[in-house]
Amino acid sequence: MECDPTRRTPNPTNVSREPVTESTTFEALGVASDLIEALREQGINAPFAIQNLTIADGIAGRDVCGKAQTGSGKTLAFGVPMLQRVSKAEPKRPTGLILVPTRELAVQVKDALAPLGKAFGVSVKAMYGGVSMDPQVDALRKGVEIIVGTPGRLIDLMERNEMELSGVEVMVLDEADRMADMGFMPQVQKILYRATGPHQTMLFSATLDGAVDRLVQKYMIDPVFHEVESNEP
């Protein structure tokens, strides 16, 4: 759904661009104790720089733009708030949606978040093309909270009336610059337009200009911008 233009932030002032030199704790960022324990079970004891900057805003429900490279820890930067905020899904109505450019990234993000989702009874499934749609349809019909998917397969599922997005509460665009480079922006915008209910949007990208910037201006509301240096973990 396109945002009210009077609520957009074309020149945001709430921007973090400095390198992070001191880490805090997940508890201080507002992460729930059950999720902190699940993180510890995965060997994750302290937030990386991009997580340190963005998790509290994400948990608070703000729209977030994060400028960070692959390998920066951005999956948990959006994944932790999403896991903590989404409601129980109804059949065919996910409450969290993560758009990614490739099948490989969909699997990677799902594998990172699914074990943590057990702390809240939140299911996470990857949905992408090149494989049978039947298991994905079966999962949707049972009810899945968080879908990690590629734009083409998600549109296929919507056009077959197997998924509808009015119940999405948290939307994430991961590696938005790669989706733009691969020509997926028309599909991405179609998906965003179909998310008609009130929702939070988080976008992570190595760059925030060109097509990505236009996406931010059109579909995000008063976003807070955070950036980590490329050599930060």
Pick the CATH number of 23-227 from 3.30.420.40, 3.90.1150.10, 3.50.50.60, 3.40.50.300: 3.40.50.300
Among 5-9, 13-17, 175-179, 199-203, the minimum mean pLDDT is found in 5-9
* DSSP string of 195-219, one letter each residue: --S--EEEEEES--SHHHHHHHHHH
- Using CA atoms, how far residue 127 sits from 45, 139, 149, 156, in Å, is 29, 10, 5, 11
Average of per-residue pLDDT across 114-142: 96
pLDDT per position as a tens digit, 39-59: 999 999 999 999 999 999 999
Write down the pLDDT at residue 14. 52
**Mind listing the pLDDT tens digit for each residue in 159-189?**
999 999 999 999 999 999 999 999 999 999 9
Instruction: Specify the 3-state DSSP secondary structure of 46.
Output: coil
Kindly state the average pLDDT of the residues 70-87.
93
Cα–Cα distance, 181 to 193 (Å, whole number): 20
Mean pLDDT of 22-45: 92
What is the model's pLDDT at position 71? 74
Please state the rounded mean pLDDT for residues 9-28. Answer: 57
**Percent of the residues in the chain that have a pLDDT greater than 70, as a whole number:** 88
For residue 3, pLDDT over 80 is answered with no
**Contact 52/20 with Cβ under 8 angstroms?**
yes
pLDDT at 18 over 50: no
- Three-state DSSP class for residue 156: helix
Confidence of residue 83 (pLDDT cuts 50, 70, 90): very high
